[in-house]
């Protein structure tokens, strides 16, 4: 994963670079807007961390031009400008996230990971785990060559399991992700829907982990 840091303050650029390299990222640095824009157009760059106040082209201009060339590359604004209007304007103009200085590296890192995850989820069209294939475009599931019809909730629940194979997901996590705010915390709706998935797909596909939650087994 390659991150481009567009930042004129060498000290900040070096700080972020050091942290990202330690996390295994490839890092490029651009000290001004023109260089930043030119490098960001390169398809090898997976994410851009963009300062707003830059010599030459401003960060806002870089963002506007970049959105014409690469509408999907994640851009996180990193700036000392913390006014709500700046934040809203840049998010409206296509920034994916906004971090204000002074900032903690762990927060920036968490946001970088979140943006990259979101991008991967959008670009994947098919998930496969535990012998089940889920087509995210047609919203259909297949098991052993048979197509299985699922309701919207069943599909969303299964998708969550398939994105985290073998990982235990708690009832609260699943409710939060699949039912959103629209649930009663005392409800057994997750259990009921896990039952539907087992019946429609395979009995041992989703395992109950007593006191912890459920997990999709791949072996
Ligand atoms: Ca600056």
| Rounded distance from Cα 31 to ligand 1 centre (Å) | 9
| Rounded distance from Cα 44 to ligand 1 centre (Å) | 24
Reported as type and span, the H/E element at residue 189 is helix 189-200
- The pLDDT-based confidence of 183 (bands split at 50, 70, 90) is low
In tens, the pLDDT along 108-120 reads 999 999 999 877 7
Whether the full predicted model's pTM is greater than 0.85, yes or no, is: no
Domains in the chain and their CATH numbers?
2-121 (3.40.50.2300), 126-216 (1.10.10.10)
| Rounded distance from Cα 203 to ligand 1 centre (Å) | 57
* Three-state helix/strand/coil letters over the chain: CEEEEECCCHHHHHHHHHHHHHCCCEEEEECCHHHHHHHHCCCCCCEEEECCCCCCCCHHHHHHHHHHHCCCCCEEEEECCCCHHHHHHHHHCCCCEEEECCCCHHHHHHHHHHHHHHHHHHHCCEEEECCEEEECCCCEEEECCEEECCCHHHHHHHHHHHHCCCCCECHHHHHHHHHCCCCCCCCCHHHHHHHHHHHHCCCCCEEEECCCEEEECCC
Q: What is the mean pLDDT of residues 158-164?
A: 91
| Rounded distance from Cα 111 to ligand 1 centre (Å) | 20
Whose CA is closest to 9, among 112, 96, 101, 99?
Answer: 101
User: What whole-number distance in Å separates Cα of residue 12 and Cα of residue 101?
Assistant: 10
| Rounded distance from Cα 80 to ligand 1 centre (Å) | 8
Give pLDDT, residue 182: 64
| Rounded distance from Cα 53 to ligand 1 centre (Å) | 4
| Rounded distance from Cα 6 to ligand 1 centre (Å) | 9
| Rounded distance from Cα 70 to ligand 1 centre (Å) | 23
Averaged pLDDT score across all residues of the chain: 91
Give pLDDT, residue 181: 62
Give pLDDT, residue 91: 85
| Rounded distance from Cα 51 to ligand 1 centre (Å) | 6
| Rounded distance from Cα 36 to ligand 1 centre (Å) | 13
| Rounded distance from Cα 154 to ligand 1 centre (Å) | 48
Judged against a pLDDT cut of 80, whether residue 27 lies above it is answered with yes
């Amino acid at each position: 994963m390659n991150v481009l840091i567009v930042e004129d303050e060498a000290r900040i650029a070096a700080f972020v670079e050091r942290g990202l390299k330690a996390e295994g990222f490839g890092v490029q640095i651009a000290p001004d807007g023109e260089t930043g824009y030119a490098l960001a157009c390169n398809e090898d760059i997976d994410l851009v961390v963009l300062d707003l106040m830059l010599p030459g082209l401003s960060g806002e201009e870089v963002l506007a031009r970049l959105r014409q060339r690469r509408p999907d590359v994640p851009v996180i604004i990193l700036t000392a400008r913390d006014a709500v209007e700046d934040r809203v304007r840049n998010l409206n103009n296509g920034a994916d996230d906004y971090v204000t200085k002074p900032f903690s590296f762990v927060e920036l890192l968490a946001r970088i990971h979140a943006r990259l995850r979101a991008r991967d989820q959008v670009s994947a069209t098919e998930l496969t785990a535990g012998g089940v294939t889920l087509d995210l475009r047609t919203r259909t599931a297949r098991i052993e060559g048979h197509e299985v019809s699922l309701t919207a909730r069943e599909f969303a629940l299964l998708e969550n399991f398939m994105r985290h194979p073998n990982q235990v997901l708690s009832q609260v996590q699943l409710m939060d992700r699949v039912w959103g705010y629209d649930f009663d915390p005392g409800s057994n709706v997750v259990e009921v829907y896990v039952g539907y998935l087992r019946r429609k797909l395979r009995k041992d596909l989703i395992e109950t982990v007593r006191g912890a939650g459920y997990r999709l087994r791949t072996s």
